[in-house]
Structure 1
């Protein structure tokens, strides 16, 4: 056992809610340690539909409060990180055999007005016969509706929150498992294990943000079952070769009442999802099933001219969403809202239950609004007016310019570094925003980026990801820090792992560090 660490807040769970809370708390002057047993965002938070949205379908379940809360966050989040988020227009083809047109119009009218919009355009009815988005659809779909939401690189959103937390003083420990907890009247003692090394942490408050594992952590910490049950629901997505060449996304209605999205993805692909399946197994072992793949293909084939077969799927991913247990008969109808469970029977314990990516910032703000005062350290909220790392394209204050003039910023980047291949400059702009200058420090030509370890992946980028973004292996880099795994030939993962090993950096977790 090594020396003891001390902090105000120990956060268990490196998904979007955990890193959001760590960032907010560190920004209010609290000493924070965050640990996750795997990579940041390795599970649910990198397995979403990649949307910043209010949740149009939740209106049917009368979840007006959730929808309003999420809609209020849309533009705020888009302004905070315009490099990893962007507006997206959705086309909903009207199926005469399902929801009537007047009901859809009424729902969209409400969706447009539940929260203020500054730059996202409102909804409208469209004639799909003459609309660009109508071309890929079957001839039967002649009418439709268009509305706005947003797209996000979910895994990078997690990393940027962790990066901001660290820069504000937090310690972020990946591949570090919390194995034991002792509760005292004014503090917790926790044991963190990383490989064969372990360390004790004394924390004034414990935050359980373990997602699908939250109930397990709560039981280990308190010895009692949670008062509010979680409903584990698996959502799966498939990726197929591109089915359309425009920038719109689609929202499709299935006869069973479910909603599935089909979205442009990584330039050459279409992303289709998600399913909602009750899940009883180990969240570490989640994967798409044959029936889920068939279901998504079937729904795509109901609308698109070009038919999709399971054999067309080039990649799939699945995540387990920890939803609040309610009286909903189906997983699709279960609430996506969140609950912050406060326990002060001894040292404070905050358990995060439920939630969705769009509301993560608000959830974190409300969490720290409770943590600060209970620890005698009240500080004002701050994240609503803050940028995420790399988001300061046109200054240090969030505004709509970063969203609306992103292409202009990319053009300026290309002029400054005219030796960069345009495709690489655009990928880096989208991934790193202004932090691309850290990656490029000292480089004046392509040769200065070092070895091309895989096509389009240079040593300079790998060094940046290992040093600044907790990347420890090829899977971190190819599937979470980027989606290069979709584009690169077989064998590249081995080359990347070999490169990391050759730099005398561990191919596993980084060493435990003292709090910053």
Structure 2
């Protein structure tokens, strides 16, 4: 990648720092293309941090006959679990059966199909259960005696985006959060883009190809910036979630059916809480100010109260979040029935070479991001004269190489042992803190703790359990720049700390940002994931 003070040249400009943009940047950089990714806000600021946080095939999509999508997602479940076992793990779901809903035979048949659609090495199959004896039956209201149990996976969605960006940067990509793409102009053999950073600097990018991965803004970006219409119509669907104090004390999650055909998940979350959601509503408001509505809170609480013995009210909600999913319009009357599959629209230019390539991403779900990125680069790379093959299926994400460089079942099945070994290695730190670091950073914990051998070397304890060492790491290596970045996207410490911590953390970072940025430019310590990029250089 060639760069002057205000001018950058690259093979591929990716607009959008959600999971699809980060995944495409990673895949392309790994094939040797020079890549620049720009995102107007923080990485994973919008849809990609507002999911139900599941790696799943989508059991309910079977009812809409989306067998190809379900199979594709089911195959990806275990690929992703092996690639990043620190931020993803298997989860067993319990579906209580209610006679007024779908008949038991239909549910059992659907679960058998779910089991058979993809090969499983890590996840056990489904089974019928007696809720009067099963641990998941205890928190439920009387009357639920029969149910079903099946497997899927859980993911820290915002960290998944960041890990893809880190891997892309490790392979030479330039990652630029808080950098807006203001205009693009198409030429015969390149694109010219005008970017503007948060501090007002103007940058010009000359790229051989452009990827529109702007998520909910994808159609708007095409029309306003590229001045091109798409034949793909997006339907914007808002999904909201609430977090309440823990409703049950066992490791199972629930999938609840509602009489309107929608479902709500209840998932153990951050040890002390239960995550409930989601809603599906057509959305026409501002994409920058998406928030839960009172009716959505009432809806989720009402469905939870239908199943759980312990009742909740809106007053019990400790946190909520909402995101807008850009789904492909398929004329479904019900928002929850709109397809979650994706489409890639590739304009390779014309036979006379008068237009540079453009690829736009429409739709998708977090489970299939890696496959989407692979297919996208399979289309883009040959147009740029690059014919290297796909590689991400057999590669760990940063921190996921617990037992070697290649993804391994052992990393998933023996993660607890890995944590115990880390707790012995770093016995000078509290065991719960090491366990949190292991879940967030995997093997990159060694980079975070390099050169530190005693508690007083962790720096100031800015808030309970949040030391200067971690904040410095997140600024230097994960593009964190604000308290919200750290408390709500790089972690979920915001749930556990007092509300006044965020402005305190903002002030702490602002006072030290020049020093943190200079530190980010220093070489990585030997043996601690050498080759890490320094986002502060951007």
Same fold flag (TM > 0.5): yes
Contact 2:58 2:70 in 1 (8 A): yes
Contact 1:5 1:514 in 2 (8 A): no
- Please give the secondary structure, in 1, of the residue aligned with 2:304: helix
Q: Paired residue for 1:247? A: 251
Residue 312 to residue 122, structure 1, CA distance change in 2 (3 Å): same
- Please give the secondary structure, in 1, of the residue aligned with 2:337: coil
Q: CA deviation at 1:300?
A: 0.1
1:268 to 250, 265, 272: 272
- Please give the secondary structure, in 2, of the residue aligned with 1:146: strand
1:504 to 513, 516, 521: 513
Residue 189 (structure 2) pairs with residue 180 (structure 1)? no
Q: CA deviation at 1:224?
A: 2.6
Q: Paired residue for 1:475? A: 484
Alignment of 1:108-123 (within 5 A): 108-123=111-126
Residue 39 (structure 2) pairs with residue 30 (structure 1)? no
Alignment of 1:144-183 (within 5 A): 144-183=147-186
Residues 420-467 of structure 1: CA deviation (Å, up to 9, x unaligned): 111101110000000001010111111110100010000000000000
Residue 95 (structure 2) pairs with residue 92 (structure 1)? yes
Q: CA deviation at 1:515?
A: 9.3
Residues 197-226 of structure 1: CA deviation (Å, up to 9, x unaligned): 111100000000000000111113431322
Q: Paired residue for 1:398? A: 407
- Please give the secondary structure, in 1, of the residue aligned with 2:288: helix
Contact 2:479 2:536 in 1 (8 A): no
CA distance in 2 between counterparts of 1:310 and 1:506 reads 43
Structure 1: gaps (5+ residues)? none
Residue 482 to residue 187, structure 1, CA distance change in 2 (3 Å): same
2:82 to 76, 79, 82: 79
Q: Paired residue for 2:223? A: 219
CA distance in 2 between counterparts of 1:334 and 1:505 reads 47
Residue 439 (structure 2) pairs with residue 455 (structure 1)? no
Residue 130 to residue 514, structure 1, CA distance change in 2 (3 Å): closer
RMSD value over aligned CA atoms?
1.7
Contact 1:473 1:507 in 2 (8 A): no
Alignment of 1:33-432 (within 5 A): 33-194=36-197, 195-345=199-349, 346-432=355-441
Instruction: Select between 343-352 and 58-67 the one with higher mean Cα deviation.
Output: 343-352
Contact 1:171 1:515 in 2 (8 A): no
Q: CA deviation at 1:496?
A: 1.1
Structure 2: gaps (5+ residues)? 350-354, 522-533
CA distance in 2 between counterparts of 1:482 and 1:271 reads 16
Residues 147-171 of structure 1: CA deviation (Å, up to 9, x unaligned): 0000000000000000000000000
- Please give the secondary structure, in 1, of the residue aligned with 2:209: strand
Contact 2:476 2:516 in 1 (8 A): no
CA distance in 2 between counterparts of 1:454 and 1:410 reads 24
Q: CA deviation at 1:354?
A: 0.2
CA distance in 1 between counterparts of 2:499 and 2:295 reads 28
Contact 1:2 1:198 in 2 (8 A): no
CA distance in 1 between counterparts of 2:320 and 2:281 reads 15
Q: CA deviation at 1:81?
A: 0.3
Contact 1:501 1:507 in 2 (8 A): no
CA distance in 2 between counterparts of 1:159 and 1:487 reads 22
Residues 257-298 of structure 1: CA deviation (Å, up to 9, x unaligned): 101100000000000000000000111010000000000000
Contact 2:86 2:441 in 1 (8 A): yes
Contact 2:12 2:211 in 1 (8 A): yes
Q: CA deviation at 1:507?
A: 11
- Please give the secondary structure, in 1, of the residue aligned with 2:513: coil
- Please give the secondary structure, in 1, of the residue aligned with 2:268: strand
Q: CA deviation at 1:490?
A: 2.5
CA distance in 1 between counterparts of 2:315 and 2:286 reads 27
Contact 1:500 1:506 in 2 (8 A): no
CA distance in 1 between counterparts of 2:68 and 2:136 reads 32
Q: Paired residue for 2:528? A: none
Number of residue-to-residue matches in the alignment: 515
Residue 453 (structure 2) pairs with residue 444 (structure 1)? yes
- Please give the secondary structure, in 2, of the residue aligned with 1:150: strand
CA distance in 1 between counterparts of 2:41 and 2:387 reads 32
Residue 500 (structure 2) pairs with residue 491 (structure 1)? yes
Residue 192 to residue 52, structure 1, CA distance change in 2 (3 Å): same
Q: CA deviation at 1:367?
A: 0.3
CA distance in 2 between counterparts of 1:73 and 1:454 reads 38
